[in-house]
């Protein structure tokens, strides 16, 4: 069984993320968790807490949730759950990922680009976990068939490690090309990557991350995700 976590703002790109998870399930049993994280509610009254929590979701956002539920009904192998969390901490998220045995986190563009502190903290905390992260773009469904691997010059991993991991976790995916980064200037790598993406039918980019360097790399990776308008699969080095 595959378990997917989709942090959401209940914007339309959530629907595309759910479709991506369904496609990636490859007709295996799958659980898709929509995870709505909001600012912490400070209240001494349980009734007031519930009132404030209910007021956080608009009718437009409820429509997105209903669309996701309608979509999932067409796929008997998939189950949809909706979880809400007021505030977020690293221990809480770590326990959540372990409890639900999350195999892949799908980050929507709306969450990645959100200016709210609670969402920037959520993305940063996710970067420090060991769960694979797929950063999506706009509101398009992502196909995970053909990839290019950006090899970090300081990584302990090589293409064989990545290919073996991908065959095990993502069996239908193909790594078509490898580019080494941090051995050349970022301008050169960006130019080369742009050329490769324009001449090849690449669906997504693979990168690796480590806990020690995630704070430095997260902004750079997000910029790559948005600048080239292509999904980025981030793998933690300790899980490959």
Q: Which of 116-130, 137-151, 209-223 has the lowest mean pLDDT?
A: 209-223
**pLDDT above 80 for 46:** no
pTM, full prediction: 0.85
State pLDDT tens for residues 171-196: 656 676 676 765 555 676 777 777 77
Phi and psi for 100 in degrees, rounded to 5?
-90, 5
Mean pLDDT of 233-237: 90
CA distances from 193 to 135, 148, 197, 201 (A): 17, 9, 6, 13
193: nearest Cα among 227, 236, 233: 227
Question: Using one digit for the tens of pLDDT, what is the confidence trace for 60-112?
Answer: 999 999 999 999 999 999 999 999 998 899 999 999 999 999 999 999 999 99
Nearest-angstrom CA–CA distance, 48 and 223: 40
């Amino acid at each position: 069984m595959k378990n997917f976590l989709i942090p959401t703002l209940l914007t339309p790109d959530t629907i595309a993320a759910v479709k991506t998870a369904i496609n990636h399930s490859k007709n295996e049993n799958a659980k898709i968790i929509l995870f709505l994280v909001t600012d912490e509610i400070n209240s001494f009254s349980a009734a007031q807490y519930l009132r404030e929590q209910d007021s956080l979701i608009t009718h437009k956002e409820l429509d997105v949730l209903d669309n996701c539920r309608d979509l999932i009904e067409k796929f008997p192998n998939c189950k949809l759950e909706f979880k809400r969390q007021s505030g977020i901490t690293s221990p809480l998220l770590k326990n959540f990922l372990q409890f639900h045995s999350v195999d892949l986190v799908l980050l929507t563009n709306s969450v990645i680009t959100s200016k709210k502190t609670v969402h920037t903290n959520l993305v940063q905390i996710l970067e420090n976990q060991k769960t694979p992260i797929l950063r999506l773009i706009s509101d398009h469904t992502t196909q995970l068939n053909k990839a290019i691997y950006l090899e970090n010059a300081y990584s302990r991993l090589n293409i064989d490690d990545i290919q073996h991991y991908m065959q095990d976790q993502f069996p239908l995916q193909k790594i078509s090309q490898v580019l080494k980064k941090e051995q050349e200037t970022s301008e050169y790598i960006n130019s080369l990557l742009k050329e490769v993406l324009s001449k090849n039918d690449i669906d997504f980019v693979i990168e690796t991350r480590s806990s020690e360097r995630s704070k430095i790399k997260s902004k750079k990776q997000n910029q790559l995700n948005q600048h080239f308008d292509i999904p980025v699969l981030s793998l933690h080095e300790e899980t490959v």
